[in-house]
Chain A
């Protein structure tokens, strides 16, 4: 098979050559040379096969169109790609690999019994720190949980014991001057919010009492009223319908108290009290209203709906690019102050979730792994403080709680795919909790699950990736990276520690200029670096021997979803026949298929691309929003087609982009299981 395909390497640069590596035994340098042969190399890789007992067998992976030419259906293509290395030679090495992608297992479709064990090996390799950290954190959170709810009680107790104690100033005692809200509905000057809350509290059970049919009737009536109002040609339809609905409603449902009727109808400026009302909707309604992670923001109706229940006050940006109207875009700089001023009103949120949300919004935390870790740790803390309300089941209530946290985080910044996967994992774990567990057991089990996820899927995965990737770095290499990827940084640092001599080219782009931070850290560690912007990519690519890129996600058609500009770098590298290696943890893989970067993306602040820091005189785009003919587009991600990717380095090994669906399919269950 290899021989048959070998000639193609010569004529067709599209054919990629990828090695499956089992890093159990450190491969000799000679081998690593042969593995990463450039695609343009004229020598067929046959000699490699003759290495006795080698754990590496280079594979020729045909690009899709050749595969189909060979008569393979598109469905079996990945399997076929995998099929190649399944030589008897490989079968001997099956037990050795550490967390590497093992094709024979997948091919045989055999039980996943082997794969967890091999993964366990990976775990045990780093086991020295795994249990300790998990133990530490669990203990910590437990303490936190025990101390937190008691705080108010403690204070009350202290009040009586005041006056004693050491120190050079006498401790004073507190005297309670006034007690909060004993009477419902006491109207004071600013007591509005409070009263409405209480009204809501009393009217909530009534709301639940309405049957489905009744609710439907109300809805119908509302719709009719709206239509009538529109027909009446009211200049202010909201006012007229607002008047009409309560009247209709009164006829249908007598149970409602008058305040209640007005409550949800208010379309006027979102006041804090109204938000409370919205937040306290029964769980079922809330679930319905939670926007789908990939809500289409050009759907006016749903946007309106989502806005009403939003915590963060978001005003949508003007002059949005037509093609990207389905993505959320808000005026930057309005969200953070708004959320900050409402900090103490975000009661349903756990403080740690709130903190993470703020950090997302302000950009303090960015990058897939960092965001995911921060989110998971916040959830862990929130779970530690969680107590099941009476007459509710932990499984359901906690899931709803997590969902509300997630929708808050989405409002702060759209989720990354890695976070989506982590949330799915967590929810799955909650759903799968055995009913026999007590609340504290369930909580600690969830917390240790989160720890385990962070440890195995991120920390250890990164270490495995680094081990794999370092074999691809040789002395004298010139390595190019784009932006600031945490894994790539770790690879460079590790290779430097191993004493390899190489040079790094950090390619950066406006407006984030993340590469500068990376550059600073690399240079501080003594690496030889070159810094350039993406404009110069075609010039600098001449010198480069390998391109290492991070990824936000890898989709199942092999498309790499990453920081905008990655596709450009990969394409340039491909044109110069430089191998492109994508480093991505397997938990970021997603079964979605995406062909472009339009349907799913994130829009950044358009202002940052119009302003150049330090160049005050470049102000031609000031007040651009006033010009209707001008739209600025600041994309955050782009999709790199798999054609430009030579290899994806994951914690399961190094694989061609065509094998991504295999990982997604075979390890999905295990992902959720752990």
Chain B
């Protein structure tokens, strides 16, 4: 399969999503439009003909649950191997744990919480084409927060942490600088030698690291072995590789390794030596390496390339890493990015399961989803919301811009707006919930006016 191996980092019970995610529902199984979020990644990979996957889950329990779900849903379709790693090892730690399973030339690492339609092949192809050490997917972050209601309370904060400061070369293919959004407050330090080598550096702040990486396997393993303090791929490994691309210890080490380590990299290394042998013959092939280090070919061998693939604006790409993102993604999957959901929409642009029961004068607007076995009383109105399985909703209930999970009971006269209601919650009569993002910590609730 083009000599790529795929690792899906499905996470565990993330603290950030605390009320939504619990022991019973690990992050990977969090429902987005009534489907576990992990299924979006798996189906994206499947559509790209990637059928041999390694899914890494934090925690034994979570791994069992995720594994059970995958084997139920994807039997005969995917060849998935689930690995459990201890909690809080971070993404780098998780990779360390499965590193000995990796044998292919390159490794594609995808976060399990990615909801996107960017073809992974594009990242892989860019990676291959440049012979890069790492290629990352950058995308334009989707609009955050509900667009019509004026809730911009946490918006700025969210935005900052989502975006990255990215430095690109003029062709927008080489990744020259990357910093997480949280570091924006500080000054940006750009290395002089990189600037000198590339001539021009474009710094952008409107791109988000989508956490889909293609790594050269040997380099990844070297970095993970040598730097055992590295905790996260996004915050440690990637910036490290980008920082050291002109004075690469890694590829130099890799060179020595190649001699005694019989692996697939020999061939590509061979190519480089061929090319450098008659560098003068093939200047165009070598142009970019020369651009990076115009001094000498030995120097060119001591550099490695970090590339970026920038998804076009028409592609949808979001990560479920906050509660705000959770409600955004839910909204988008039945809304503007509806092709991702895999459901067929009715002519009213909504999905109502045939087994759902609607009372008289109840309206379900566009961009809504009503899953199987849900009952609604009379004179209800549902707008831009997702209602899970087997919910019982009384009369005169208004649900706007919300996500209601499974087995929720909402009694008469409630108003739910811009909220997320977890499974098994019981809302009594005339509860008003507005912009309450994590309702349902206690599984039953009485009247409350927020």
Contacts and interface: CB of A to CB of B under 8 A. Distances in A.
A263 interface: no
B82 A177 contact: yes
A272 B49 CA distance: 10
Contacts of A158: 100-101
A159 B128 contact: no
B101 A174 contact: yes
Contacts of A22: none
B103 A517 contact: no
A342 B264 contact: no
Given A344-B49, A370-B285, A459-B281, A178 B274 contact: no
Interface string B253-296: 00000000011101101110111011011111101101000100
A524 to B, nearest CB: 6
Contacts of A167: 96, 99, 225, 228
A359 B129 contact: yes
A345 B79 contact: no
Contacts of B266: 140-141, 143-144
Given A191-B77, A370-B285, A484-B283, A144 B122 contact: no
B281 A458 contact: yes
Interface residues of B, number: 82
B281 A373 contact: yes
A178 B79 contact: yes
Nearest to A462: B281
A189 B277 contact: no
Interface string B118-155: 01111011101111000000000000000000000000
A124 interface: no
A151 B125 contact: no
Contacts of A359: 129, 285
A157 to B, nearest CB: 11
Interface in B52-80: 52, 54-56, 63, 67-68, 70-71, 74-80
The dominant DSSP class at the A interface is helix
A70 interface: no
Contact of A189 (B54, B70, B83, B342): B342
B282 to A, nearest CB: 4
A355 B124 CA distance: 10
B98 A172 contact: yes
Interface string A377-397: 100010010000000000000
B277 A133 contact: yes
A337 interface: yes
Contacts of A384: 267
A177 to B, nearest CB: 4
A486 B281 contact: yes
A486 B81 contact: no
Interface in B305-321: 312
B104 interface: yes
Contacts of A347: 1-2, 49
A673 interface: no
A587 B267 CA distance: 26
B4 interface: yes
B76 A174 contact: no
A341 interface: yes
B46 interface: yes
B301 interface: no
Interface in A130-180: 133, 136-137, 140-141, 143-144, 146-148, 151, 154-155, 158-159, 162, 165, 167-180
B81 A517 contact: no
Contacts of A337: 122, 312
Contact of B76 (A178, A362, A366): A178
A351 B128 contact: yes
Most buried by A among B93, B225, B267: B267
A289 B125 CA distance: 27
A159 B81 contact: yes
Contacts of B48: 341, 343-345
Contacts of B225: 167
Contact of A521 (B47, B128, B283): B283
Given A178-B80, A377-B271, A462-B278, A148 B128 contact: no
A344 B54 contact: no
Contacts of B78: 178, 180
A458 B281 CA distance: 8
A626 interface: no
B85 A172 contact: yes
B283 A351 contact: no
Nearest to B309: A340
Contacts of A165: 100
B187 interface: no
A144 to B, nearest CB: 5
B51 A354 contact: no
A364 B288 contact: yes
Contacts of B75: 178-179
A151 B103 contact: yes
Nearest to B286: A370
Contact of A190 (B43, B130, B285): B43
Interface string B146-181: 000000000000000000000000000000000000
A547 interface: no
Contact of B70 (A178, A342, A355): A178
A180 B129 contact: no
A174 B54 contact: yes
Most buried by A among B46, B125, B275, B290: B125
Query: Which 10 A/B pairs are nearest by Cβ-Cβ distance?
Result: A343-B121, A370-B282, A341-B119, A174-B81, A340-B125, A340-B122, A343-B125, A140-B266, A180-B79, A151-B103
Given A144-B264, A345-B121, A490-B280, 16 more contacts: A140-B269, A143-B262, A144-B266, A159-B81, A167-B99, A169-B93, A174-B101, A178-B71, A178-B77, A340-B125, A341-B119, A365-B285, A373-B282, A458-B281, A486-B283, A487-B281
